[in-house]
Structure 1
Amino acid sequence: MAATLKRETGLVGAVLLGLGSMLGSGVFVSIGLAEDMVGWGVLPAILLAAVVAGCNALSSAQLAASHAKAGGTYEYGYVFLSPAAGFTAGTMFLLAKSASAATAALAFAAYLDALIETDLPLVPVALTLVAALTVMIQAGLRRANWLNAVIVLLVVAALGVFVALGSASQTADSSELNQSSPPDFFHACALLFVAFTGYGRVATMAEEVRDPRRTIPPAILATIAVTTVLYLGVGHVLTLHAGSLTDAATPLEAASRAFGPGWLAITIAAAAMLAMVGVLLNLILGLSRVLLAMGRRGDAPALFGKLRGGEPVAAIIGMAVVVGGLCLLGDVRVAWTFSAVTVLVYYAITNAAALRLQGEERLFPRWIAWIGLAGCLGLAAFVPPLFWLWASLALGAAFGVRKVIQLRLTS
């Protein structure tokens, strides 16, 4: 019988884990990318992304509550759809969140560069951060939870100051409406959708949460609600000061310099770096749980399906290596867009699985899952075709590796 993870996370801890995954690259990177594409359209884009994410969150919540095992939609796809659907979901999750983690590492390096005002080599700094956090995670989930809580509270405080001062500023320099095209708008929605998917961190930890049926749904919904308010506030400030953001790698820090005192830009850069640490911490943990589940089932090498001292050590190291490899892309926009197409496929499968829930397993109306499914597929259609090609090639390679593993198991 496979060893199981310890159930030691309550409601508050689950919410903080979700916030730690969402108040990072999403707020410090993706809102700036979307604002650059659609201007004031970033505000309705945030709301649309929040609606789609909210439907997905409810689908994820009821699946996690009824099937409380590590692995998220990888497990749900297997149980409610088919092995191929489950494996596709697991692969898409690993690709999507590895790309998001790489984005966070690169963004950390960019904000550090802005803070110390020098010309840092971004990729080596990002790789160093990934390696350092991997070592830290080996200390165990409880210590990671404590550190995550501190990071979340500090980041929320810094963002609150940013929104308050930026909204009150009388030096706004962006009064014209950006006339973006519908494809640009929905592409921006797709990028912003990724910013909301940190709630999935809670679902992938279903095996570690106390009383999953009571804890997971409210934790996911609370995470979505808090981040939507913060994202809208940040988006509003960035549109007010869009003139200072041209090609800025650190949009919130650049906006702070435009309207705030000198200490604000320093505070925001420091908060962004803390947030990226939190994102990496949560993503590597969440990724390792999916790889753990895949290793247990034989969809990944058996080494990744083992626990050592109650922790999936091999899976954590394996995912850190993948994240480090994606850091070599060296481009935040490319990494984030690749994350968008793969995570939209992942959540399409989540909603399809939720449609199969029956009786007492179902916590919410079926139409919610239908909206989530349509939203994911619709937004995915506006991601540039090149990224679809990359995702398809990666998925094909993963199925090839899976076939080799299964042939070895049966020989």
Structure 2
Amino acid sequence: MPLARRLNLADAIAIGLGSMIGAGVFAVWAPALGAAGSGILIALAIAALVAFANATSSAQLAAVHPVAGGTYAYARAEIGPWSGFIAGWCFVIGKIASSAAMAMTFAAYAAPEEWRVPVAVLAVAALVTVNCFGITRTALLTRILVVITLLGLAVVTAAGATAAAPGATPDALPDATLYGILQGAGLLFFAFAGYARIATMGEEVTDPARTIPRAIVFALSGAVVVYVVIGITVVSTLGADAIGSVHPLADVVAAAGWAGAEPIVRVAAATASLGALLALLTGIGRTTLAMAREHDLPRFLAHVAPRWHVPRRAEIAIGLAVIGIVLVADLRGAIGFSSFGVLLYYLIANAAAFRQHGAARHYPRFLQVIGALGCLVLVSTLPVLASLAGTAVVLLGIGYRILRLRVTRR
């Protein structure tokens, strides 16, 4: 059964923003600053450039292949089944890790330390339930969450402006190195990758050839502006103190003496995390659905609920996987693992877009080259443990497909 086309341009932009302006803007600064040091804004610029190049590839592909599954479907059509499988598998595992990071960030801002794990688990379970009752409910809730998040970020920016007065200069950040800047960019890329959620819902967007490219560019542009403003605010207010902070944006407000506004920021952070988690779970479900339709994942996950027109079994399976990671992992590890999977996913997206020609081309090929080289460089500089774990899980997925193909031939 096909999915229903119910999302307009505003819905698609909201889902993209909900994915990008989420847990990343509240949680990624500490690990990124620890890696990039005083080069954090350079790292942010590199991450944004790579994200923009990747976004143009996704937009170009989505205009020609307006189906569920994102680069999994695009790479199958433009390159071949194996490329599609690797892209889809990297997306699923990377974004499951992202979802766990979102849930952990929500709990870090919303609950006392001893309650963070059960609160994160409950958040995942609640949003899976929302997704199981229709995509229009998902889009409406995401719009509400984005508005609340932006209001909270406005409070942080205003507080940071007052804290940056003479006499309030923070400790300097560590000196930057080229490797550290690139690793910081790889970690920051985790925060920008949400525009893929728009492309993965190609079967549910009205006029997809026009809507998807526009929504991707608008959502990414808005997210870049927000991250630049917040990055400058965090660095100018906290400096080196941000490296060890669990909740840096709440610390910005505290440093400014705006104690009364700190609960507002915590609510906004929790809200942003929920919005990103909601949009992520939706996108992973659609890629899982597409892979199951092609037997690259168990076929029972391809079922679409007839009343609500959503891949309910896939949503529930993904929710269980996210809960499993929440129970065993930490935030830094989840971010690194997520970046590993997503950067490989976009590497394949750039390769698929590079192969397009004629009327299908909307952007020059040099952007796909920049995107592919950027993905390769950033993935090679991620923390070693995250890269090793990501490699092992990718190889596990490849082994599964080889085994499945052999069984099918017999």
Give the distance between the partners of 1:355 and 1:213, measured in 2 at CA.
18
Q: TM-score, normalised by structure 2?
A: 0.95
Q: Establish whether residue 400 from structure 1 lines up as the match of residue 394 from structure 2.
A: no
Residue in structure 1 matched with residue 168 of structure 2 by the alignment:
172
Q: Establish whether residue 217 from structure 1 lines up as the match of residue 217 from structure 2.
A: no
Cα pair distance change 1:172/1:236, threshold 3 Å: farther
What does 1:359-378 correspond to in 2, within 5 Å?
A: 359-378=358-377
Gaps of 5+ in 1: none
Gaps of 5+ in 2: none
CA deviations 1:106-162 (Å, max 9, x no partner) are 11111113xxxx432322221111111111211111111111100001111111221
Match of 1:302 among 275, 299, 308: 299
What does 1:5-404 correspond to in 2, within 5 Å?
A: 5-113=3-111, 118-169=112-163, 170=165, 172-174=168-170, 176-240=172-236, 241-309=238-306, 310-404=309-403
Q: Report if aligned partners of 1:167, 1:236 keep a CA contact under 8 Å in 2.
A: no
Give the distance between the partners of 2:59 and 2:48, measured in 1 at CA.
16
> How far 1:389 sits from its partner (Å)?
2.0
> How far 1:400 sits from its partner (Å)?
2.5
Aligned residues: 405
- The amino acid of 1:109's aligned partner reads A
Give the distance between the partners of 1:237 and 1:311, measured in 2 at CA.
40
Give the distance between the partners of 1:97 and 1:108, measured in 2 at CA.
16
> How far 1:390 sits from its partner (Å)?
1.4
Give the distance between the partners of 1:200 and 1:14, measured in 2 at CA.
11
Q: Report if aligned partners of 2:171, 2:241 keep a CA contact under 8 Å in 1.
A: no
CA deviations 1:194-217 (Å, max 9, x no partner) are 111000000101111111121111
Give the distance between the partners of 2:391 and 2:333, measured in 1 at CA.
16
Q: Report if aligned partners of 2:159, 2:258 keep a CA contact under 8 Å in 1.
A: no
Q: Report if aligned partners of 2:95, 2:284 keep a CA contact under 8 Å in 1.
A: yes
> How far 1:184 sits from its partner (Å)?
1.0
Give the distance between the partners of 2:263 and 2:179, measured in 1 at CA.
36
Q: TM-score, normalised by structure 1?
A: 0.95
Give the distance between the partners of 2:127 and 2:406, measured in 1 at CA.
35
Give the distance between the partners of 1:157 and 1:361, measured in 2 at CA.
39
Q: Report if aligned partners of 2:90, 2:394 keep a CA contact under 8 Å in 1.
A: yes
CA deviations 1:267-295 (Å, max 9, x no partner) are 11110101111111111110000000000
User: Which 10-residue stretch deviates more, 259-268 or 8-17?
Assistant: 259-268
User: Which 10-residue stretch deviates more, 81-90 or 167-176?
Assistant: 167-176
- The amino acid of 2:50's aligned partner reads V
> How far 1:403 sits from its partner (Å)?
3.3
User: Which 10-residue stretch deviates more, 325-334 or 163-172?
Assistant: 163-172
Give the distance between the partners of 1:152 and 1:231, measured in 2 at CA.
14
Q: Report if aligned partners of 1:204, 1:290 keep a CA contact under 8 Å in 2.
A: yes
Q: Report SS of the residue matched to 1:121.
A: helix
Cα pair distance change 1:359/1:133, threshold 3 Å: same
Give the distance between the partners of 1:96 and 1:197, measured in 2 at CA.
11
